[in-house]
A and B are shown apart, each in its own frame.
Chain A
Amino acid sequence: MTEQLPALQILITMMAAPLCVLVRNARVSWAIALLANAFACWVAWQLLQQVQTTGVIRYALGGWAAPSGIEYYIDTMNAAVLLLVSGISTLSLLYAYKSVSKAVPMAKHYLFYSAWLLCVTGLMGIVITGDAFNVFVFLEVSSLATYMLISFGDDRRALTASFRYLVLGSVGASFILIGIGFLYAATGSLNMVDLAERIPDSESQRAVLVAFSFITIGVLIKAAVFPLHAWLPNAYTFAPIAVTAFLAGTATKVSLYVLLRFFFSIFGEAYSFGQLFLNTVLLPAAIAGFVLMSLVAIFQTDLRRMLAYSSVAQIGYIVAGFALASQAGLTAGIVHIVNHAMVKTALFMAVGCIIYRVGHAHRPSLDSLFKHMPFTCVAFIISGLGLIGVPLTVGFVSKFTLIGAAMERGWWILAGLVLISSLMAVVYVGRVVEVMLFRQSRQSGPESSGLSEAPVTMLIPMYVLVAMGLYFGINGSQTLSVAGEAARQLLGGF
């Protein structure tokens, strides 16, 4: 049984998706989706345990051994991201039941949950596979499902947001495919471990260089790294809020995982950073990202849009960690993937609770919301502190390691800029908190009276994430040790 776990990770959610379509019932399909996701989460937990005790797991699909066959390759990095994706997905699904019933017509729910399951399957598939072409296939599975999920938003602008993401996402995906094609031309292999061995000896280094460039651009688009983030703000703003919470914690994180896998494991740190100076591209993009996008976030009045821009900024921190290309920098980047996923999903869930009761997320008209929805506001404030990076929250752990890594390299300016953009986060989170807590309602309109707290099924997943955020903020050594182990494996190559 245990040796079949890698296959079960993908298979169960994948089989649940057509089942949802067959039953055509909102509640039953939600229950199927939740059960399948909870199972996937359990499998991911088992895999993480197994990887930490026995080392890398390799699973040959169809019994055909790698390099000719497709294999699943799981080390600490994959297992951690798998657990993150399936965990966030399970919690968001629990949250989605109430939240989505308002945004999406009941008759379409089965399609919604089916698309959700396909999206999770695709994301987990990208992470678990050890085959470069398989990455592209699963990328398409998850992307197509994501476009569909975004278009479910009740605002008509969701359709244009989804279409915009479709155009940019397809460009990104085809760039990745072209890159993989060039790699295949240069080496004659698609297996990641095999690729890593063959690339240095390949006769056509020019093809490898072209592959490297295409894959870099493609993955940076999918990960929404600063100048290529144009699809993200609208997609996050107009998608159903449960979908936004889910995507904010998983989709871009998985793309960042692909980035790590290609740059460090396949091409190798010496090639991408030593020979091609990738950090001269990544670092300016990352810095511009977290400074400018934090600045833009300050001036947003819609909470969802504000958090979306803040997401681009946080991706900047993660990429800055990667660009350091050191053990400490990678650890900081990886730990921030996990920490930011928890914080941002919790924040979007809090905004979803506000939308569920108030009907909008327009900051200036949320006066004294604390009186009516105290639990939601407390969750928002705690997670907001995590976003800023206040001590005892997860944000502190990752920013502290990131600044430490920057200083280790002697890049004082980077450390300073991280601090400055954290101060900007204080401003944009603070403006919301100020309205929620202290501003008196100017008129006692009918919408402000009769407001009550959000349903319990929405509060529970949110508070699970908030509690996890606090736990890993106080006891950061657990996530840090996993991230450190993952960084060591990545720097060491396969």
Chain B
Amino acid sequence: MKLYPRQRHRVLQVVTKLVIPFVLMFGLYVQFHGDYGPGGGFQAGVIFASAFILHGLIFGLQQTRRVLSPGVLRVMMSLGVLLYAGTGAVTMLMGGNLLDYDVLAHDPLHGQHWGIFAVELGVGITVTGVMISLFYGFASKR
């Protein structure tokens, strides 16, 4: 049986598979708990992307590309920005200034909550896409 070079790192592969779900979970926690505790879109995006980068380091770039193709990443990067700017457009359509979240819900407190939620989600999606794209860019030989 031909031994692929990657298959020598059995321990690393098994541990990685165990760790990745927790990394993703922690990323989501930092994302959505950001308005109550430390965290937010930037940090969450980086943590979320680090799971994929770890996968790429251990299983090889080809495998990771099958999970997340560069095309999907491009869509993620632009969707995040659109979500952020779109929130601004919605606040303007609802009668406030750009990114004035007060108008988004029945009272300002909830409005601010929803606004931050949407904006940070946009940041998170974009940062995830950008981080993984950077990794692809530097790791691929082309």
- Cβ contact of A11, chosen from B74, B75, B85, B96, cutoff 8 A: B85
Contact A61 B98 (CB under 8 A): yes
Flag whether A60 is at the interface (Cβ < 8 A).
Answer: yes
Contact B82 A62 (CB under 8 A): no
Contact B96 A63 (CB under 8 A): yes
The segment out of B38-46, B47-55, B99-107 that lies at the interface is B99-107
Contact A61 B79 (CB under 8 A): no
- Known A7-B92, A22-B78: A14·B97 in contact at CB below 8 Å: no
Contact B102 A63 (CB under 8 A): yes
Interface size on B, residues (CB 8 A): 19
Question: In the complex the two chains form, what is the Cα distance from A19 to B83 in whole Å?
Answer: 11
Residues on A with beta carbons closer than 8 Å to the beta carbon of B79? 18, 22
Contact B75 A22 (CB under 8 A): yes
Q: Majority SS of interface residues in chain A? A: helix
Q: Which of B78, B79, B86, B96 has the most CB of A within 10 A?
A: B78
Flag whether B28 is at the interface (Cβ < 8 A).
Answer: no
Flag whether A17 is at the interface (Cβ < 8 A).
Answer: yes
- Known A4-B92, A7-B88, A7-B92: A17·B81 in contact at CB below 8 Å: yes
Residue of A nearest to B78 (CB): A18
Contact A63 B74 (CB under 8 A): no
Residues on B with beta carbons closer than 8 Å to the beta carbon of A60? 97
Contact A4 B98 (CB under 8 A): yes
Residues on B with beta carbons closer than 8 Å to the beta carbon of A17? 78, 81
Flag whether A59 is at the interface (Cβ < 8 A).
Answer: yes
Please, what's the 1-or-0 string for A19-48, where 1 marks a CB less than 8 Å from any CB in chain B?
Answer: 101100000000000000000000000000
Q: Which of B18-35 contact A (CB under 8 A)?
A: none
Flag whether A15 is at the interface (Cβ < 8 A).
Answer: yes
Contact A11 B98 (CB under 8 A): yes
Residues on B with beta carbons closer than 8 Å to the beta carbon of A63? 96-97, 100, 102
Residue ranges of A at the interface with B (Cβ–Cβ < 8 Å): 4, 7-8, 11, 14-15, 17-19, 21-22, 59-63
Q: What are 10 A-B contacts defined by CB distance under 8 Å?
A: A7-B92, A11-B85, A11-B89, A11-B98, A14-B81, A15-B85, A18-B85, A22-B75, A61-B98, A61-B99
Residue ranges of B at the interface with A (Cβ–Cβ < 8 Å): 74-75, 77-79, 81-82, 85-86, 88-89, 92, 96-102
